Every structure is written in C-alpha cells, then in structure tokens.
Amino acid sequence: MTYPLDMSLSNIHWVAVLVSALVAIASGAIWFGPKTFYPAWSKAMGHSETEVPGAGMNMGIIFGSTFLAQFFQAFGLALVLTMLKDPNGFKGGVVGLVVGIFIAAASSLGHRLFGGQGFRVWALEVSNDVLNLVLMGIILGAWV
C-alpha cells in the first residue's frame, strides 16, 4: 500500500534537527540580548531595571526545557518538510515563515493578551519565533 504523504522517521535528518534547535537557541540569545530587544521586552513585561526575570529559578531547567522545545519544534517542521516534493533551503524557509505566522504567531496572541502582557510582548516574542522557524526551515530544507 502506498501513501500520498511519505512522513516517516527514516526521512528525518537528525543532525539537521539538532543544528536547527541550536541555531534557534543562539538566535534567541541574540534577539533577547542586553543590546538588542531584552530591555524593551523586560520593560513591556513590567519588570524594573534592576529586576532579573527568572531570578531564583533553576536556569538548567529553564534552558534545558527551552532547548527541548526548540528540538521538538525543529522535529515537527522536519516532518512537514519531508512531505514536500524536492525540498530545499528556500522552500524550507517559506514553510517556516508560514508555520511561524499562521501557527506560532496566531496561537500565542491569545496567551499574551489573556496573560495581561499585551501586544508589545507578543510582537517581540513572536518575531523571534517566526525568525527561528524560518532559520530552521532553511537548515532542514537544505538537509532533508
């Protein structure tokens, strides 16, 4: 029996998934760095200039969970890309952009608004999410 969509784990390039997750972590570190968007994000979250978000929390759990989430996101995007005919970096980037805008951005808006964090927090966070998905798509598309 043949299936129109060949979505199997054997088609996943696991090194590309790992690299994509690492690139997303690096992108987030740059995006929310002290010289980039962190000050605006922190202010929009209502933190004082001296307050350190996450202080007192286990940073190993925070960064480990964030990496795991990025890994699963890259894995899911890799599954989607295996369904494309002749995937490449450009097609992967476009798929990442579409997933970022229509899924990541749309689904997180309600969370931020109901959480009282507002549009600015959402825009700063989701912009990095969309960028990360585009970068992941380029990497995964080139290696699928």
Percent of the chain with pLDDT over 90: 67
Mean pLDDT for all residues in the chain: 90
Neighbours of 139 (CB within 10 A): 27
- In this predicted structure, the answer to whether residue 4 has a pLDDT above a threshold of 80 is no
Q: What are the Cα distances from residue 65, in Å, to 14, 25, 32, 71, 87?
A: 19, 11, 17, 10, 29
Counts for the chain of helices (H) and strands (E), in that order: 6, 0
Asked if residue 102 has pLDDT above 60, the reply is yes
Answer with the residue of higher pLDDT: 112 or 140: 140
Lowest mean pLDDT of 22-31, 105-114, 132-141, name the range.
105-114
pLDDT for residue 1 = 46
Separation CA 58–CA 75 (nearest Å): 26
Q: Residue 124's pLDDT is what? A: 96
Q: Is the whole-model pTM more than 0.85? A: yes
The confidence score (pLDDT) of residue 130 equals 97
pLDDT tens by residue, 5-64: 555 677 899 999 999 999 999 999 999 998 999 999 999 988 887 777 677 888 899 999
- Domain positions in the chain are 16-143
Write out the two tokens for 39. 């000050």
Work out the angle between the directed axes of helices 106-114 and 118-143 (0-180°, nearest 10).
150
**Which range (48-52, 84-88, 124-128) has the least confidence?**
48-52
Question: What's the half-sphere exposure (Cβ side, CA atoms, 13 Å) at 89?
Answer: 6
What is the structure's pLDDT at 19?
Answer: 98
